[in-house]
Amino acid sequence: MYNFPSEFDDGLPITYRETGLDIAYAMSAIHTKGPRPDVCLVDAYHTLEMTLRDLNAAYDALEDEGVLVVHDCLPHNQKQATPYLIEGEWCGVSYMEFINFVLACQTCDFVTLDCDYGCGLIVKNRKIHLNEGGFIKRRARVADHPEVVERWQAFDADDFEGAYRFFVENKRILLQLVPPRAFFTGFDRSPLHAE
């Protein structure tokens, strides 16, 4: 945990605690002590810079075939998606860097569960297999929509309002959004680049 007051205590153990935004000590300790985590929750401080840093650090630390669970990928409204801290429900622009990260990643697959504020699942060096019958009639795949990807990548990094409007219109594709029940169908253990 980082950016938490030193007196914070919810009764649960915290292995690595940083009162500021720096995570270098904690990440160094994770790499040194091992083993690599199989599952890692990334609930970044919701700016572009912090989210990108945290996604890269967590993915690098993750065990091969491990899973990143990324919170706040699906803000419910534009107020929650502001890049500046607000009181109350704030997702910031984490969703933007989540999308940028998975679009650039050549060694991962991902889906986003349509629950809470969006829970992205990124798997390292393997594919996600989802039962596409029944409740998942047809999973939206971002790779099938290069025009959406191209338009997303053309947004200026400071055009938060335009990016959010485009996101709302295309979130099913950009997030590869699936119902929460999809989580329970399991993952295929095949390597990402298997023939």
Mean pLDDT over residues 9-15, rounded?
86
Q: Are residues 42 and 22 in the same domain?
A: no
Confidence check: pLDDT of 193 > 70: no
Inside any domain, residue 169: yes
In the chain, how many domains are there?
2
d(CA 171, CA 177): 7
Looking at the domain assignment, is residue 160 inside a domain? yes
On whether both 139 and 44 belong to a single domain, the answer is yes
Structural domain containing residue 169? 38-185
The answer to whether residues 68 and 15 belong to one domain is no
Strand order in the sheet with 177-178: 39-42, 67-71, 119-124, 108-113, 177-178
Residues 50 and 77 in one domain: yes
- Same domain flag for 30 and 47: no
Asked whether residue 190 is assigned to any structural domain, the reply reads no
> Which residue in 171, 184, 172 sits closest to 138, CA to CA?
172
Is 192 inside any structural domain? no
| 164 shares a domain with 111 | yes
Fill in the amino acid letter for 182.
A
Residues 160 and 131 occupy one common structural domain:
yes
Please tell me the predicted confidence (pLDDT) of residue 195.
Answer: 47
Predicted confidence (pLDDT) per residue in 101-133, tens digit: 999 999 999 999 999 999 999 999 988 876 665
Whole-angstrom distance, CA of residue 86 vs CA of residue 62 = 31
Compute the mean pLDDT over every residue in the chain, rounded to the nearest whole number: 87
Q: What is the pLDDT of residues 123-182, one digit of tens each?
A: 999 888 766 654 555 667 899 999 999 999 999 888 999 999 999 999 999 999 988 876
- For the chain, what is the radius of gyration of the CA atoms? 17
Same domain, 66 and 111: yes
On the question of pLDDT at 192 being above 50, the answer is yes
The full DSSP string for 139-186 is ---GGG-HHHHHHHHTS-TT-HHHHHHHHHHHHHHHTTEE-GGGGGG-
Reported as a single tens digit per residue, the pLDDT across 38-71 is 999 999 989 999 999 999 999 999 999 999 999 9
6 pLDDT band, cuts 50/70/90, is confident
pLDDT band at 184 (very low <50, low <70, confident <90, very high): low
Residues 6+ apart with CB under 8 A from 162: 155, 156
Residue 191: inside a domain: no
> What is the spatial distance between Cα 195 and Cα 187, in angstroms, rounded to a whole number?
17
